[in-house]
Chains A and B, each alone.
Chain A
Amino acid sequence: MRHLLSMLFFLVSSVVLGQQTASVVGALSDKENNNEPLPFANILIQGTTIGTTSDFDGLYELPNISPGNYTIIFSYLGYETVTVENVLVSEGKVTTLNVPMGASEGVALDEVVITVSAKKDSETALLLDQKRATTIKTSIGAQELARKGVGDVGTAVTKTTGISKQEGSGNIFVRGLGDRYNITTLNGLPLPSNNPSKKNIDLGLFSTDIVEFIGIDKTYSAENYGDFSGANIDIVSKDYKGDGFVSLKVGTGINSEASGVDTFFLNEGPNQHGFYTKNYPAFPLNNYNFVTSWDRTQANEPINTSFSLKAGDSYILGEETKLNVFGVASFDNGYSYKEGVTRGSVTVGGIARRDYDYQTYEYNTNSTAMANIGLRHRKNYIQYNSLFVNTSAQNQQEYRGVIDAFDYAPEGGAFVQRASYERTSLWVNQLLGKHELNENLDLNWGLSFNLIENNIPNRRQNTISPSNWDIPEGPKSFAETLNGADNHRFYQTLDENEMAANLNGVYKFKYNEDIGKHEGKLSFGYQGKMKEVDFGATQFNFRITKRDANNKRIVHPLITDVYNLDNYFNLENRLAGLFSIETFRGNINTPNALDPQTYFGKQDIHAAFANLELTINQKSSFVFGLRAEDITQEISWSTSLDPNGDTSTLNTFEILPALSFKYAVSENQNLKFAASKTYTLPQFKERALFQFEEVTQVYFGNPSLYASKDYNLDLKWELFPSNSEVIGLGIFGKYIQDPINDVTVNSATNDISYVNTGDSAKAFGAEFELRKDLFSSEKETAKAFLKTNLSFGLNVSYLHTNQELDGDKVIEETTAADILALSIDFTNESDSLSGASDLLINGDLSFSKQFAEDKDLMATVAFNYFSDRIYALGTEGKGNLVDKAVATLDVVFKASLNKHLSIGLNGMNLLNPNIVRSQEVQNVDVLTYKKGTNVNLSLSYNF
Chain B
Amino acid sequence: MKKSILKSVAFLSIVTLMASCSKDETPNKDNDGIQNGNETGIDCGGSTGVTCPDSEPSEGDGDTNANTSENLEGELSEAKTLDASKAYNLTGSYIIKDGGKLTIPAGTVIIATGGTSSYIAVAQGGQIFANGTAANPVVMTSGAANPTSSDWGGLVLCGKAPTNVGSTATSEVGDLTYGGTVSDDNSGVLKYLRVEYTGAAFNSSKEFNGVSFFGVGSGTTVEYVQSYNGGDDGIEFFGGTVNGKYLVSTNSEDDGIDFADGWQGNGEYWYISGAAKAGIEGSNNGDNSGVTPLTTTTLSNITVVGPVTEGALYFKEGGGKFTINNFYTKGINLGVKVKDTDTDAANRIEAGDLKITNMQFDAPVDGYKTTDYTGATQNFITVGENTGAGNSAAAPAWTAGWTKGL
In the complex, per-residue mask of B1-16: 1 if CB is within 8 Å of any chain A CB, else 0: 1101101110110011
A586 at the interface (CB under 8 A from B): yes
B54 at the interface (CB under 8 A from A): no
Query: In the bound complex, what is the Cα–Cα distance between A689 and B174 (angstroms)?
Result: 9
User: Which residues of A sit under 8 angstroms from B18, Cβ to Cβ?
Assistant: 273, 275
User: Which residues of A sit under 8 angstroms from B151, Cβ to Cβ?
Assistant: 586-587, 589
Q: Is the CB of A483 within 8 A of B169?
A: no
Contacts A279-B25, A690-B175, A747-B165; A327 near B12 (Cβ below 8 A): yes
Chain A contact residues, majority secondary structure: loop
User: Which residues of A sit under 8 angstroms from B179, Cβ to Cβ?
Assistant: 746
A745 at the interface (CB under 8 A from B): yes
Partner of A696, one of B15, B26, B145, B204: B204
Query: In the bound complex, what is the Cα–Cα distance between A807 and B291 (angstroms)?
Result: 17
The residue among A347, A580, A691 with the most chain B CB atoms within 10 A of its own CB is A347
Q: Is the CB of B9 within 8 A of A347?
A: no
* Interface locus among B188-196, B339-347, B385-393: B339-347
Within 8 A of B (CB), among A497-525: none
The residue among A283, A641, A750 with the most chain B CB atoms within 10 A of its own CB is A641
Query: In the bound complex, what is the Cα–Cα distance between A99 and B1 (angstroms)?
Result: 29
Q: Is the CB of A590 within 8 A of B148?
A: no
Name A346's closest neighbour in chain B (CB-CB): B287
Within 8 A of B (CB), among A741-781: 745-751, 753
Q: Is the CB of A641 within 8 A of B36?
A: no
* Interface locus among A539-547, A557-565, A622-630, A853-861: A539-547
A313 at the interface (CB under 8 A from B): yes
A790 at the interface (CB under 8 A from B): no
Contacts A286-B46, A590-B115, A641-B93; A749 near B206 (Cβ below 8 A): yes
Within 8 A of B (CB), among A284-343: 286-287, 289-292, 309, 311, 313, 325, 327-329
Q: Is the CB of A390 within 8 A of B5?
A: no
In the complex, per-residue mask of A566-584: 1 if CB is within 8 Å of any chain B CB, else 0: 0000010001000010101
Query: In the bound complex, what is the Cα–Cα distance between A575 and B40 (angstroms)?
Result: 10
Within 8 A of B (CB), among A198-246: 244-246
B65 at the interface (CB under 8 A from A): no
Name A580's closest neighbour in chain B (CB-CB): B148
Q: Is the CB of B169 within 8 A of A746?
A: yes
Partner of A748, one of B16, B204, B214: B214
Name B200's closest neighbour in chain A (CB-CB): A586
Q: Is the CB of A541 within 8 A of B201?
A: yes
Query: In the bound complex, what is the Cα–Cα distance between A309 and B12 (angstroms)?
Result: 11
Q: Is the CB of B5 within 8 A of A311?
A: yes
Contacts A585-B116, A747-B165; A641 near B202 (Cβ below 8 A): yes
User: Which residues of A sit under 8 angstroms from B298, Cβ to Cβ?
Assistant: none
Q: Is the CB of B172 within 8 A of A311?
A: no
Query: In the bound complex, what is the Cα–Cα distance between A700 and B21 (angstroms)?
Result: 35
A382 at the interface (CB under 8 A from B): no
A106 at the interface (CB under 8 A from B): no
A348 at the interface (CB under 8 A from B): yes
Partner of B27, one of A289, A292, A328: A289
B127 at the interface (CB under 8 A from A): no
User: Which residues of A sit under 8 angstroms from B101, Cβ to Cβ?
Assistant: none
Query: In the bound complex, what is the Cα–Cα distance between A292 and B206 (angstroms)?
Result: 27
Partner of A876, one of B26, B27, B288: B288
Q: Is the CB of B39 within 8 A of A286?
A: yes
In the complex, per-residue mask of B113-149: 1 if CB is within 8 Å of any chain A CB, else 0: 1111111000000000000000000000011111011
Nearest 3 Cβ contacts at the A-B interface: A586-B115, A590-B115, A746-B166
**Contacts A406-B317, A589-B115 supplied; 4 other A-B pairs, CB < 8 Å:** A484-B201, A488-B204, A585-B115, A811-B168
Q: List 19 A-B contacts (CB under 8 A).
A: A275-B18, A278-B22, A282-B37, A286-B46, A349-B288, A371-B8, A388-B12, A410-B339, A484-B201, A584-B116, A589-B142, A590-B113, A593-B115, A640-B116, A640-B200, A691-B203, A696-B205, A746-B168, A823-B168
* A contact set with B: CB distance below 8 Å: 244-246, 273, 275, 277-283, 286-287, 289-292, 309, 311, 313, 325, 327-329, 345, 347-349, 351, 353, 367, 369, 371, 388, 390, 405-407, 410, 425, 469, 480, 482-485, 488, 539, 541, 543, 545-547, 549, 551, 571, 575, 580, 582, 584-587, 589-593, 640-644, 689-691, 693, 695-696, 698, 700, 745-751, 753, 811, 820-825, 876-878, 943
